[in-house]
Chain A
Amino acid sequence: MELFDNLALGFGVAFTLQNLMYAFVGCLLGTLIGVLPGIGPLATIAMLLPATYALPPVAALIMLAGIYYGAQYGGSTTAILVNLPGESSSVVTVIDGYQMARNGRAGPALAAAGMGSFFAGCVGTLILAAFAAPLTELAFKFGPAEYFSLMILGLIGAVVLASGSLIKAVAMIVLGLLLGMVGTDVNSGVARFSFDVAELTDGIGFIVIAMGVFGYGEIISNLSKHESEREVFTATVSGLMPTKEDFKNMIPAVLRGTALGSLLGILPGGGAVMAAFAAYTLEKKTKLRPGEVPFGKGNIRGVAAPEAANNAGAQTSFIPLLTLGIPPNAVMALMVGAMTIHNIQPGPQVMTSNPELFWGLIASMWIGNLMLVILNLPLIGIWIKLLSVPYRWLFPSIVLFCAIGVYSTNNTTFDIWMVGIFGFIGYIFIKLGAEPAPLLLGFILGPMMEEYLRRALLLSRGDWTVFVTRPLSASLLAASAVLLAIVLMPSVKAKREEAFVED
């Protein structure tokens, strides 16, 4: 079987002592930063990205994947223990997880999250490996018109599934696309919107935007809340193992969560957040067994299912990135940035031209998931200690790491001035209730979209119908239209708003 040959190649790459080390360090650092309340995977990856610059590309990507999983897992730990989602995909974990912790069952909740994530991660990795080859084949049939339509679908998917106001999310995407225009135009060599600043002719660094908007913006907004609003659960966690009864409830929930998560992760715009929401809603719809704790009161299924789903979704959202080169969500957009820094252009050619990297990365995803379980269950005590560190010591450290990270990207102070500006802008966004994640996605996709649009119209001699006359492109656009129509239907609209408000 080709699949197993490929996986064997991947494990051959990933199982070197060096790469195992990087996976381990990535998971450790990711969890360490991800555990801090208010810092999601986006900020964590942005912050830790500079640490991978000096590494060879394979090792760097393995470490980044580790950081991503670690950050996600760290987020669930915070959700369960602090009643504060460390990131948006653990928003639903908070509901039952924190209640379990209050009932003295933090241990089983953490274990359920860990084991559920691990199982989902294994399945997600297999799906990724199985689908990568056929999807790559498909990708080679894509012309510029198809790519453009696919990006439209991706962007629409991202706003449809995002929380909050739809039109504001669209506006944020367009704003992101525009910010992506800053810098030298590849076709004409004109430096656009650079105001004669030499540094701006290379465009705005995505690290600067990610760190400013997500890092500083969040810190400022966290600081403006009063200390008493942050309730930290510091009681000792004892008895990690779930009971037999717990397992009975957990296993089907994990299976459902995994299936749902894998599916939603592949969809553009889907990814971890939507997967977690959908899984929780599904669990709430299934009947309670006699004697089971109701949802919202500390039901273990309410932890296991969304955690499994968000991990499966996190895993399968790599599929569009690795096969088509199109990031389906903001975290993957960051991964694109990371890959370009290492001179890898994500897309179908990665698998053929760089099979060690491709399969090595996939294998290391599984290893990363395994490490999370090994790492986190025994180290839970340390994370809890970290959570009880006062915020007044934490935030200067976070500010410092952000500043060092930004500076080390290009070794110029210009980036530090820029991040200051974007920190301010990020805080404004938070104040205005405009979600910044679509902005980052738009920012990464902006130059790509312009390029594909240009090529498509150049080939068609300016004929816009090319997008609907080519069947693949037409079906992608049709899918986006359907998606948009569904969300705008009054009944779905009400449901959607309800689903995101609910807690």
Chain B
Amino acid sequence: MNIKSQKDFFSGLMFMAVGIAFAWGASGYTIGNGARMGPGYFPLVLGVLLAVLGAVITFKALVVETVDGDKIGSFAWKPLVFIIAANLVFGAALGGLPSIGLPPMGLIVGIFALTFIASNAGEEFNFKEVTILAIILAILSYAAFILLLKLQFPVWPTFIKS
């Protein structure tokens, strides 16, 4: 049997897996009955429904002909990894990671880290340009979020402040 629509086939599988996972999780809570619903009732029904929908989508993807096979295409790993990583490093810099003993480094360090990492996701990486961009973003963010909106952020690394 050929997969007629790759996108639908895999999204159907995804829905099935997630639906089953939720239904299985829900079965661990009290289900109850219609008049007295337990915490597991609604998620169980929805999980089963999602799994059924997923099965239908997968089935259709095997049967219904499409023009070009609805290929998923290659994953853009580079932007995916760098954008998500930039975000995570920013979080670690801002709040610190006690589990590995990283102290909070504050907003400014976070902005530089984020800009440098995120810029790798693009097609070209020009060190000078990225540095200038990071400086501009740091100044603007400081002015907008700290001075103007007065958000409570650690701005500088804790060891400098103390």
Contact = CB atoms under 8 A, between A and B. Distances in A.
Interface string B47-71: 1011001101100100000000010
A221 B73 CA distance: 12
A419 interface: yes
Nearest to A190: B39
B137 A403 contact: no
B152 interface: yes
A449 B46 CA distance: 12
Interface string A373-397: 0000000000000000001110111
Contacts of B111: 400
B100 interface: no
User: How many interface residues does chain B have, given as a range?
Assistant: 35 or more
Interface stretch (A118-126, A177-185, A264-272, A343-351): A177-185
B76 A404 contact: no
B1 interface: no
A211 to B, nearest CB: 10
Given A392-B124, A433-B70, A457-B37, A417 B76 contact: no
A193 interface: yes
Contacts of B153: 404, 407-408
A420 B88 contact: yes
Interface in A119-140: none
Tell me which of B49, B92, B107, B121 has the highest count of chain A C-beta atoms within 10 A of its own C-beta.
Answer: B121
Interface string B91-124: 1101100000000000100110011001101111
Nearest to B144: A51
Contacts of A462: 33-36
Given A192-B29, A395-B118, A399-B114, A167 B60 contact: yes
5 contacts: A54-B150, A193-B43, A402-B87, A416-B91, A432-B14
Contacts of B152: 411
Nearest to A226: B123
Given A178-B47, A404-B145, 17 more contacts: A54-B149, A174-B49, A192-B29, A193-B22, A220-B121, A221-B76, A224-B79, A393-B133, A396-B114, A396-B119, A399-B114, A399-B118, A400-B114, A404-B153, A407-B94, A433-B11, A461-B35
A181 B91 contact: no
A255 interface: no
A190 B153 CA distance: 33
Contacts of A181: 22, 42-43, 46
B53 A174 contact: yes
Nearest to B140: A397
Contact of A187 (B25, B34, B39, B80): B39
B88 A416 contact: yes
A420 B88 CA distance: 7
Interface string A76-113: 00000000000000000000000000000000000000
A237 interface: no
Contacts of A227: 123
B7 A433 contact: yes
Tell me which of A165, A223, A449 has the highest count of chain B C-beta atoms within 10 A of its own C-beta.
Answer: A223
Interface residues of A, number: 66
A176 B141 CA distance: 33
B134 to A, nearest CB: 8
A193 B42 CA distance: 13
A408 B107 CA distance: 12
A238 interface: no
Main secondary structure of the interface of A (DSSP, over half): helix
A500 interface: no
Interface string B139-158: 00100010001111100000
A200 interface: no
B112 to A, nearest CB: 10
Contacts, number: 195
Tell me which of A178, A185, A461 has the highest count of chain B C-beta atoms within 10 A of its own C-beta.
Answer: A178
Contacts of A51: 149
A168 B11 contact: yes
Tell me which of A187, A220, A460 has the highest count of chain B C-beta atoms within 10 A of its own C-beta.
Answer: A220
Interface of B: 7-8, 10-11, 14-15, 18-19, 22, 25-26, 29-30, 33-40, 42-43, 46-47, 49-50, 53-54, 56-57, 60, 70, 72-73, 75-76, 79-80, 83-84, 86-88, 90-92, 94-95, 107, 110-111, 114-115, 118-119, 121-124, 129-130, 133, 137, 141, 145, 149-153
B66 to A, nearest CB: 11
A396 to B, nearest CB: 4
Contact of B30 (A188, A221, A399): A188
Interface in A181-228: 181, 185, 187-188, 190, 192-193, 216, 219-221, 223-224, 226-227
A55 to B, nearest CB: 10
A407 B26 CA distance: 30
Contacts of A393: 129, 133
A102 to B, nearest CB: 26
Contacts of A408: 145, 151, 153
Contact of B91 (A178, A223, A224, A407): A407
A259 B147 CA distance: 45
A18 interface: no
Contacts of B118: 395-396, 399-400
A402 B26 CA distance: 33
Contact of A399 (B37, B39, B46, B83): B83
Interface in A400-422: 400, 402-404, 407-408, 411-413, 416-417, 419-420
A392 B37 contact: no
B39 A188 contact: yes
Interface string A5-47: 0000000000000000000000000000000000000000000
A175 B15 contact: yes
A395 B34 contact: no
